[in-house]
Amino acid sequence: MFKGPTTIRDHSFEANLFARRAFIAFVFVLILIAVLFINVYQLQVTSFDSYQTRSNDNRIKLVPVPPNRGIIYDRNGVILAENKPVYNLEGISEKIKDLDKSLMALKKLLDITEQQEKNFLNDIKHNRRFKSQILKSRLNEKEVALFSVNQDKFPGFRVEARLARHYPHGDTLTHALGYVAKINKKELLKLDAENKSQNYRATRFIGKLGIEKFYEETLHGTVGSEKVEINNRGRVLRSISFTPPIPGNDLVLTMDISLQKAAQAALKGMRGAITVLDAKDGGILAMYSNPSYDPNLFVHGISSKNYKALLNSDRPLFNRVTQGRYAPASTIKPIISVLGLEEGIIDEKTTIRDQGFFQIPNVKHRWRDHLKWGHGKVDIYKAIEKSCDTFFYDMAYRLGITKISNFMAQFGFGDLSGIDIHEETSAILPSVEWKKERFNESWYPGDTISIGIGQGYWSATPIQIANAVNILANKGINHPPHLVSVAKLNEQLTILNNEEKPPIILKDNNHWDIPLRAMHNTVQKKSGTAYKAFKGHTYDAAGKTGTAQVVNIAQGEEYEKDKVKEKHRDNAMYVGFAPFSSPEIIVTITVENAGGGSSLGAPLARKIMDHYFANKAAEIAGNP
Amino acid sequence: MNPLKHKKTIWDKIHIDLPLLLALIVLLAASLFIVYSAGGQELPIVFRQLKRLGVALLIMVVLAQISPSTLQRFVIPLYTFGIILLIAVLIVGVSSKGAQRWLNIGITRIQPSEIMKLLVPMMVAWYIGKYHLPPKLKHLFIGFLLVMLPTYLIYKQPDLGTSILIASSGIFVLFLAGVSWRLVGSVCAIGAISAWPLWTYGMHAYQKQRVLTFLNPESDPLGSGYHIIQSKIAIGSGGVEGKGWLHGTQSQLEFLPERHTDFIFSVLSEEFGLVGVTLLLAAYLFIIARGLFIAVNAQDAFGKLLAGSLTLTFFVYIFVNIGMVSGLLPVVGVPLPLISYGGTSMVTLLAGFGMIMSVATHKRMLVHT
């Protein structure tokens, strides 16, 4: 079948031809191999650094590690806010043997809702097989125990503990501490704008209110990171290095939880506020606004049912201590007396004849005293002890609004107290300018009269009143009120809020002493308005009662027909301090629509002071 | 030939070319280590590769025993049978990964296009070798048809990589046979001109995508450019000395795709660096040089053309694969010869070397025929 060529083949010619072609081919091969080599050389030598970096970027990931939030203590080291483990039941898809069977059995063991199961299955489906997904969050201790005993029956499932904020004293401290909750979108944008989002990469909670919000930066700490090696699916293979997070500062408050609890107990069933200041440094020993609410409800997101319950007419969310605007009423009579003495309008011996009302010359209107028939002959002592209104109508009339307004501003009225929480209002210290701006009306002499007894346009927050009384009791020394005294990181202490404001200096120190003595008499003398409430006390208290007519405590309440009567009742007020010679504590009481300060305010103050001095005595006895 | 000058060694008697065998053994041994590293460090994969190597080496030795003249006797029926199988693949073939390449013959599945890698150069070498060299235009034309028919059938499967290899093997025969340079020049010109219609009408969407990605891989770093980018990172980050065996992060952490098959060169480059690449290229160059040496010293045109074509096709494997994984060429599914994991191409390649060895060791017998 092989048909040879017709002519004779020239074998050497053909061999030469082939050899030439093979040689040319080999040269081509050499050139192309050189091309390959040069290309690889460029990758491995010329661009080595860049590719090495890209290779490391591929495999090395920084996993942020959240810092532990600082713990909040009261002045005696009692924990007020802590980080407690929360237990979640989680499952890792690739380790679960029989998903359907496991879920069936788990549902029998624990209370797992349809929704939880649905979410879990969805999470498993849409995430990497090695990622842990939550089936049921926040297990209680019984559930944890129940699962742990049966754990071997559920391969791939486990209970994971995560730290979350917890407030062991519940509603006792809410208006001071505030709370943390999950970071929302708005807060994320704000963190971005402040260049803080890097530090919050691993953080889930942020301070929303109170101290938790005000001291967010101090409490939060600095994020740490773990350098890990990952594969192309993001699975962590090993840890390369670890930079531990720096925990947030612990905070030590000026508050005393035991006194705070006493304040809560005292206000039970009432709407109102109690503030106790440390007279030595302005530290807040207690501040309680009733009604309150449990901050723990908010940490993991409050249910709408629970939230609706908080929106009742008693307004538990409202911080009365710093946001409640009340007429200060007679509690400011001692301070206005200081001004009267300083201005020479009155002296220790000045008396008036009180026939039950005050009249501006040539004006018909009568400003009535609370005692219809009048107090008779009244000097400054009697005027404060018995809370004579007419005396102060007269003095205010003669002082004029501008002097009163300027002087009261020095005591912090009409301005934020500077307390270290953001929820505060400056309330209203009226002045000619204020009225012009607010109502576009001139100030009438008649407007000044009721200012003399802390009524009229004047409103103040309980913390402002407490601050003013503190300045008075300390004879002009001004320690602004505050909640936090020390920030603590490891053993390093930072003292906070120890600055003093410039003191109020009078021409004559006696101008402090006379009204203070009168306050002493109010409690000590049988004729004083607080005598009855403080009968038998042992710590030499001084004080002043107040009964505020409710004209406008309107902070947006709705008009509720069946409550009208109650809401028109007077607010009971009391301010006091003890011991008289060297004040330690300042106590202020405000009870809404309760009635008289003498019968309702003073007894509450007594309870607080009794508690404070009993504790102190016990402490001294305990540490001889 | 003077029997005194060339004493027959034991290797000649068993028709094995020792230098070629040694070079092959070195590369194959190296491949076992690289496959172990690239295959997730699992011994079963290495054992499977070892088993295939054994089979492939056996086939090589068996083919080396068959003299070129015997091969020529069976080339027409074999080629015809191969073409029939290729047509059968297109009609009743088994699909895998979007391409129809396999034929199910009951016991096992075969890939006819692999067999054609040997049969096409054989067929063309026989046909062209029948006549005087350089070939006449008529013979060239028929030879060209013998190449293009299987090339087209394989391209239709579609399997661009294999069709390129088969076309090259045939074209190499024609080139080595001494086609005039004028013709070579005009064919190149026509090829360049026909690139446009080929791009517009002749290519599948995925093939076009590969070419586009090749031109600018960074344009789609998470999509189709991902493979090339990761491969270049692997090669580049290997540096001069490499990251060490089993320590290539790109490969061990699975950022590299197809790391034990088509992209095994990247694994080698990452773990052994430029040193490893240089040694590999040197080994390849030695094999090619030896193959061409055998071809030049072959005693008849068929042997020369067959050995030369198979050697040069071996080089096309190398160039296309390394060019692809290092970003010089578009992604075309061609394994790295003798190193990549996988049985089929290994068998075909070693069978080819068996034929080259046969050409090298059957000279005297040819003379006496």
SS (H, E, C) A36-49: HHHHHHHHHHHCHH
B221, B229 contact by CB (below 8 A) = yes
Counted across chains A and B, CB pairs separated by less than 8 A come out at 147
- Region A357-364: mean pLDDT is 87
CB–CB contact A22 B284 (8 Å): no
Catalytic residue positions of A, numbered: 330
A432, B57, B113, B311, B339 from B349: Cα distances, Å: 105, 10, 13, 10, 11
**In Å, how far is A127's CA from the nearest CA of chain B?**
19
pLDDT of residue A562: 47
For residue B158, say if its preceding peptide bond is cis, omega within 30 degrees of 0: yes
B345 and B292 Cβ atoms separated by less than 8 Å:
no
Mutate to test the interface with A, among B176, B259, B285, B320 (most CBs of A within 10 A): B176
CB contact under 8 A, A10 and B132: yes
Measured CA to CA, the distance from residue A311 to residue A293 in angstroms comes to 11
pTM over 0.90: no
Sequence-ordered list of residues with C-beta below 8 angstroms from that of A575, at least 6 positions apart, any chain:
A331, A465, A466, A469, A543, A544, A546, A586, A587, A588, A589
Distance to chain A for B104, nearest Cα, Å: 34
Q: Which segments of A are annotated as binding site for Zn(2+)?
A: 354, 369, 375, 388
Q: Is A8 near chain B, with CB under 8 Å?
A: no
- pLDDT tens-digit map of A366-388: 888 888 888 899 999 999 999 99
Interface pTM, i.e. ipTM: 0.92
Specify the 3-state DSSP secondary structure of A334.
helix
Token readout for A141 is: 């201790």
Give the pLDDT confidence score for residue B196 in this predicted structure: 77
Yes or no, beta carbons of B253 and A40 under 8 Å apart: no
Cβ–Cβ < 8 Å for B314, B355: no
Nearest to A40 among B134, B235, B284 (CB): B235
Q: Which three-class secondary structure state does DSSP give residue A531?
A: coil
Q: Taking CB atoms and an 8 Å cutoff, what residues of chain A touch B327?
A: 39, 43
State the amino acid at position B211 in one-letter form: V
Distance from CA of B73 to the nearest CA of A (A): 9
Contact list in A for residue B253 (CB cut-off 8 A) is: 58-59, 229-232, 237
pLDDT tens-digit map of A234-273: 788 888 889 999 999 999 999 999 999 999 999 999 999 9
Q: Is A282 helix (H, G, I), strand (E, B) or coil?
A: coil
pLDDT at A561: 41
pLDDT for B95 equals: 73
Q: Please tell me what DSSP assigns to residue A373.
A: T
Scan residues 59-98 of A and list those with Cβ closer than 8 Å to B: 59
Distances (CA, A) of A41 to A34, A37, B282: 10, 6, 15
Please tell me if residue A47 touches chain B, with a CB cutoff of 8 Å. yes
CA closest to B281 among chain A residues? A33
DSSP state at residue A541 = -
Residue of B73, B253, B321 to mutate for A, most A C-beta atoms under 10 A: B253
Most confident of A97-106, A137-146, A406-415, A562-571: A406-415
B239 and A26 in contact by Cβ < 8 A? no
Residues in A closer than 8 angstroms to B281, CB to CB, are 33, 36-37
Give how far A23 is from chain B: nearest CA, Å. Answer: 8
Distance from CA of B352 to the nearest CA of A (A): 18
- What would the pLDDT profile of A537-557 be if each residue is shown by its tens digit? 999 999 999 998 875 434 344
Distance from C-alpha of B245 to C-alpha of B276, rounded to nearest angstrom: 11
* Cβ-based neighbours of A344, under 8 Å, separated by 6 or more: none
Is B269 in Cβ contact with A44 (below 8 Å)? yes
* Out of A33, A48, A237, closest to residue B285 by CB: A33
- Which residues of chain B neighbour A19 with C-beta distances below 8 Å? 296
- Contact status of A16 with chain B (Cβ, < 8 Å): no
Residue with token string 């011994």: B43
Alpha-carbon gap: A31 to the closest alpha carbon of chain B (Å): 11
To the nearest whole Å, the CA of A228 is away from the closest chain B CA by 13
- Cα B134 off chain centre by: 26
Amino acid at A267: L
pLDDT at B313: 94
| Binary contact (A35, B278; C-beta < 8 A) | no
Q: Is the pLDDT of residue A179 over 50?
A: yes
Comparing alpha-carbon positions, the chain B residue that sits nearest to A47 is B236
Instruction: For residue B288, list chain A residues with Cβ-Cβ distance below 8 A.
Output: 26, 29
- Tell me which residue in A22, A40, A41 faces B296 most closely, judged by beta carbons: A22
- Measured CA distances, A489 to A179, A202, A247, A499, B27 (Å): 21, 20, 8, 21, 63
Q: Please check whether residue B281 is in contact with residue A37, taking contact to mean a CB–CB distance below 8 angstroms.
A: yes
Positions of chain B with pLDDT under 70: 1-7, 96-99, 106-108, 213-224, 364-369
Please tell me the predicted confidence (pLDDT) of residue B232: 93
Element of type H or E holding A224 = strand A224-230
Residues of A in contact with B305 (CB under 8 A): 18
pLDDT in tens, A203-232: 889 999 999 999 999 999 999 999 888 887
* pLDDT tens digits for range A555-603: 344 434 445 467 778 899 999 999 999 999 999 999 998 877 788 899 9
- A438 reaches B (C-beta below 8 A): no
Strand bridging mode A72-73 / A250-253: parallel
The region that residue A83 occupies, defined by phi over 0 for left and psi between -120 and 50 for alpha, beta otherwise, is beta
Residue carrying the six token digits 């011996």? A349
Across the range A270-283, mean pLDDT stands at: 95
Inter-CA distances, A76 with A259, B52, B118, Å = 11, 79, 92
The 8 Å CB, 24+ separation contacts for A343-348 are A343/A399, A343/A403, A345/A395, A345/A398, A345/A399, A346/A380, A346/A395, A348/A379, A348/A380, A348/A510, A348/A514
CB contact under 8 A, A21 and B176: yes
CB distance from A35 to chain B under 8 Å?
yes
- Over range A408-417, report the average pLDDT: 95
User: Domains in chain A, start-ordered, CATH in brackets?
Assistant: 63-253 (3.90.1310.10), 257-293+317-622 (3.40.710.10)
- Is the CB of residue A25 less than 8 Å away from at least one CB of chain B? yes
Known binding-site residue numbers of A: 354, 369, 375, 388
Helix, strand or coil, per DSSP, at residue A353: strand
**Distance (Å, whole) CA B259 – CA B332:** 15
Q: Which stretch of DSSP H or E encloses residue A435? A: helix A432-439
Instruction: Choose the closest CB to A22 out of B134, B295, B319.
Output: B295
- Using an 8 Å CB-CB cutoff, list chain A residues near B301: 14, 18
A32, A169 Cβ separation under 8 angstroms:
no
**In chain A, which residues have their Cβ closer than 8 Å to the Cβ of B356?**
none
Q: What integer pLDDT is reported at residue A95 of this predicted model?
A: 84
Does the distance separating the beta carbons of B301 and A30 come in below 8 Å? no
Indicate yes or no: CB of A55 within 8 angstroms of CB of B237: yes
Taking residues A331-351, what's their average pLDDT? 94
Mean pLDDT of chain A: 90
Which chain A residue has the Cα nearest residue B318? A33
Q: Is A11 helix (H, G, I), strand (E, B) or coil?
A: helix
- Say whether B292 and A52 touch across the interface (CB within 8 A): no
Q: pLDDT tens digits, residue range B5-17?
A: 556 788 888 899 9
State the pLDDT at residue A490. Answer: 87
Q: How many Å lie between the alpha carbon of B178 and the closest alpha carbon of chain A?
A: 6
Short-list B304, B318, B307, B325, CA closest to B228: B325
| The predicted structure's pLDDT at residue A555 | 39
In A, which residues are within 8 Å of B274 by CB distance?
40-41, 44-45
Give the count of alpha carbons within 13 A of B251, CB side only: 36
Asked if the C-beta of A240 comes within 8 angstroms of chain B's C-beta atoms, the answer is no
Among A482, A179, A157, CA closest to A317? A179
Chain A residues in contact with B308 (beta carbon < 8 A): 18, 21-22, 25
